[in-house]
Amino acid sequence: MSTPRRQFLRLAAGTLATGALAGCDRLSESASFTGFLRRAQYLSRWAQDLLTGPDALAQEFTEDDITSDFRSNGTSMPDSALYRELANGGFRDWALAVGGMVRQPLKLSLAQLKTLPSRTQVTRHDCVEGWSAIAKWTGVPLARVLDLAAPLPQARYVVFHCADPMDGSDRTAPQSTYYESLDLREARHAQTILAYGLNDEPLPVANGAPLRLRVERQLGYKHAKYLMRIVLVDRLDGIRGGKGGYWEDLGYEWYAGI
């Protein structure tokens, strides 16, 4: 069952979206919607901490609750020659780079990530467009990867850089691709994982292969797909539009708590 706060945000998103939407880009054009999100994010985080505590878990479900077909939203195949080459090779040559404010920069292949302790969770994905779906995710807790990289004391945020270009071109420049960010507290939450499995199968390309972020206490646009590198930083205002994510730079809230 939804929490009252989750129900409120889903209702608000559905009302402002006024029915079926082509995608998140249409919502980003609504000044009233983006203004609502900016004002709501601080109240949402305060309420979440007050009501449940900073370490509270999002609701988990049983396998009987799994949605029959977990839909792909947004990009379903990155328009990138590099990504297509990696996908055609079964991601054997793909590796997740971890750097920035860390003592030990990393480059981890998919096989290496799968040797780390894993977590499996059946959770609900809530999209800002108003739809939701339940799925079973398997991956490595992000905290495990951070422990290996050993963040420096001044590191405050984790920035996720992805393979999917967002301007309709086949460019590989970092400024043209999707990105997201979390603070270290949310990054180390027990249910924040780097998922490589969906419903006991390898993560499909349409859902973010070979690796995607799952941050179960926040809305779907925070769950970055097609991960390529992670960078730890002390501030977000010098990155891209300065708001901490692709949709945030267009007006969405940075903390999208549910």
* pLDDT 10s digits, 93-115: 999 999 999 999 999 999 999 99
What interhelical angle do 4-17 and 31-52 show, nearest 10? 180
Look at residue 48 in the predicted model and tell me its pLDDT. 63
Q: How far apart are CA 133 and CA 116, in angstroms?
A: 27
pTM for this model (two decimals): 0.82
The per-residue pLDDT for 2 is 44
Cα separation of 254 and 37, whole Å?
A: 9
Tens-place pLDDT, residues 122-153: 999 999 999 999 999 999 999 999 999 999 99
Q: What's the pLDDT score for residue 9?
A: 45
pLDDT score for 225: 98
Low-confidence ranges of the chain (pLDDT < 70): 1-52, 168-175
**pLDDT value of position 13:** 41
Q: Are 212 and 227 a contacting pair, CB within 8 Å?
A: yes
Q: Residue 84 burial (CB < 10 Å; 0-12/13-18/19+)?
A: middle
Q: Is 205 helix (H, G, I), strand (E, B) or coil?
A: helix
Instruction: Round to whole Å and give the CA distance between 25 and 35.
Output: 15
User: Which contiguous run of DSSP H or E holds residue 180?
Assistant: strand 177-183
Give the model's pLDDT for residue 258.
Answer: 85
According to the model, what pLDDT value does residue 36 have? 59
Report d(CA 174, CA 168) in Å as an integer: 14
Tokens 């692709």, located at residue: 246
